[in-house]
Structure 1
Amino acid sequence: MHGDDGQARAEAALNTRRPTIKDVAERAKVSLKTVSRVINNEPSVMQATRARVLRAIDELDYEPDPSARSLRSATPYVIGLVYDNPNPYHIIGVQNGVLAACRETGFDLQIHPCDASSPLLADELGEWARRSRLAGLVLTAPMSESKELVDALAARGVKLVRIIAATEDPKDGHPCVFVNDRAAAYEITEHLVQLGHQRIGFLWGGAAHRSSRERYQGYEDALKDYGITLDKHLVVPGDYTFDDGFRGARRLLALREPPTAIFGSNDEIAAGVLAAAKSAGVDVPYELSIAGFEDSPISKQSWPALTTAKQATGDIARHATRLLAGSLRQDAYDDHPMAMHNQGFVPQLVVRGSTAPMRARGNGSGRGTQQPERET
Structure 2
Amino acid sequence: MRSATIKDVAERAGVSLKTVSRVINNEPSVHPRTRAKVQREIDALGYQPDPSARSLRSTRAYAIGLVYDNPNAHYVINLQHGVLAACRANGFGLQIHPCDSSSPKLADELRELAQRSRLAGLVLAPPMSEQPALIDALSQAQVPFIRIISARKDPQDGHPCVYVDDRDAAYAITEHLIQLGHQRIGFLWGGREHRSSLERYQGYEDALKDYGIALDRKLIVPGDYTFDDGFRGARKLLALKERPSAIFGSNDEIAAGVLAAAHSDGLNVPYELSIAGFEDSPFSKQSWPALTTARQATEEIARHAAQRLIGDLQRAANGEPLVSRNEGFSPELVVRGSTAPRHTAPSGRGAGGRRKPAT
TM over 0.5: yes
Q: Distance in 2 between matches of 1:63 and 1:359?
A: 59
Task: Specify the SS of the correspondent of 1:69.
Answer: helix
* Amino acid in the other structure paired with 2:180: L
**Distance in 2 of aligned mates of 1:113 and 1:66:** 21
Residue of structure 1 in register with 2:20 after alignment: 35
Q: Distance in 1 between matches of 2:109 and 2:39?
A: 41
**Partners of 2:165 and 2:331 within 8 A in 1:** yes
Answer yes or no: is 1:348 the counterpart of 2:349. Answer: no
Paired residues of 1:28 and 1:53 also in contact (CA < 8 A): no
Q: Which amino acid aligns with 1:279?
A: S
Question: What's 1:279 paired with?
Answer: 264
Q: Is the partner of 1:349 in helix, strand or coil?
A: strand
Preserved CA contact (<8 Å) 2:294 2:331: yes
Q: Quick check: 1:293–1:310 contact (8 Å CA) kept in 2?
A: yes
Indicate how the Cα distance of structure 1 residues 261 and 76 shifts in structure 2: closer, same or farther if over 3 A, else same.
same
Query: Where do residues 298-337 of structure 1 align in structure 2 (5 Å cutoff)?
Result: 298-334=283-319
Amino acid at match of 2:157: D
1:173-188 correspondence runs (5 A): 173-188=158-173
Is 1:133 aligned to 2:94, yes or no? no
SS at match of 2:279: coil
* Corresponding residue number in structure 1 for 2:356: none
Cα distance in 1, alignment partners of residues 239 and 331 from structure 2 = 32
Query: Closer, same or farther in 2 for the Cα pair 1:250/1:45, shift >3 Å?
Result: farther
Query: Could you give the per-residue CA deviations for residues 39-68 of structure 1, whole angstroms, max 9, x where no partner exists?
Result: 4699x9857644357769x9xxx9967555
CA distance in 2 between partners of 1:359 and 1:152 (Å): 53
Where does residue 193 of structure 1 map in the other structure? 178
Q: CA–CA distance in 2 between the matches of 1:302 and 1:20?
A: 49
1:114 counterpart (99, 115, 122) = 99
Distance 2:236 2:70 in 1: 24
**Please, which moves more after superposition, 100-109 or 191-200?**
100-109
Which residue, out of 336, 339, 344, partners 1:360?
344
Alpha-carbon RMSD across the aligned residues, in angstroms, is 3.2
Q: Which SS does the other structure have where 2:158 is aligned?
A: coil
Alignment partner for residue 51 of structure 1, among 12, 25, 37?
A: 37
**Residues 167, 203 of structure 2: 8 Å contact kept:** yes
8 A contact 1:323–1:341 mirrored in 2? no
Match of 2:282 among 297, 315, 320: 297
1:157 maps onto 2:155 in alignment: no
Cα distance change, pair 35–333 in 1 and its aligned pair in 2 (3 A): farther
In structure 2, C-alpha distance between the alignment counterparts of 1:63 and 1:187, rounded to whole Å:
44
Shift of 1:85: 0.3
Q: Which residue of 1 aligns with 2:153?
A: 168
CA distance in 1, matches of 2:297, 2:49: 35
Q: Aligned to 1:220, which of 195, 199, 205?
A: 205
| Larger CA deviation: 123-132 vs 203-212 | 123-132
- Mark the runs of 5 or more structure 1 residues left unpaired by the alignment: 1-18, 368-376
Q: Partners of 1:52 and 1:87 in 2: how far apart?
A: 42
**Bigger radius of gyration:** 1
Q: Does 1:259 align with 2:234?
A: no
Residues 47 and 278 (structure 1), Cα distance of their counterparts in 2 relative to 1, 3 Å cut: farther
Work out the number of aligned pairs and report it: 341
Offset at 1:332?
A: 2.4
Residue 162 of structure 1 aligns to a residue in which SS? Answer: strand
Shift of 1:341: 3.7
Pair 226,205 (structure 1): closer, same or farther in 2 beyond 3 Å: same
Deviations along 1:311-365, whole A, 9 cap, x unmatched? 0000100000011001111122347x7857410001000000000001134799x
Q: Partner amino acid for 1:332? A: A
Alignment match, 2:196? 211
Q: Percent identity?
A: 67
Contact 1:164 1:178 in 2 (8 A): yes
Superimposed CA distance per residue, residues 260-282 of structure 1 (whole angstroms, 9 cap, x where no aligned partner): 00000000000000000000001
- Shift of the 309–81 alpha-carbon distance from structure 1 to 2, 3 Å rule, reads same
Which amino acid is 1:287 matched to? E
SS at match of 1:276: helix
CA gap of 1:132–1:361, structure 2 versus 1, over 3 A, is farther
Letter in 2 for 1:252: L
1:244 and 1:63, CA in 2 relative to 1: closer, same or farther beyond 3 A? closer
For the residue of structure 2 that corresponds to 1:80, the secondary structure is: strand
Residue-by-residue CA offset, 1:98-151 (whole Å, 9 max, x unaligned):
000111111100000000011110011111111001000000000000010011
Equivalent residue letter for 2:338: S
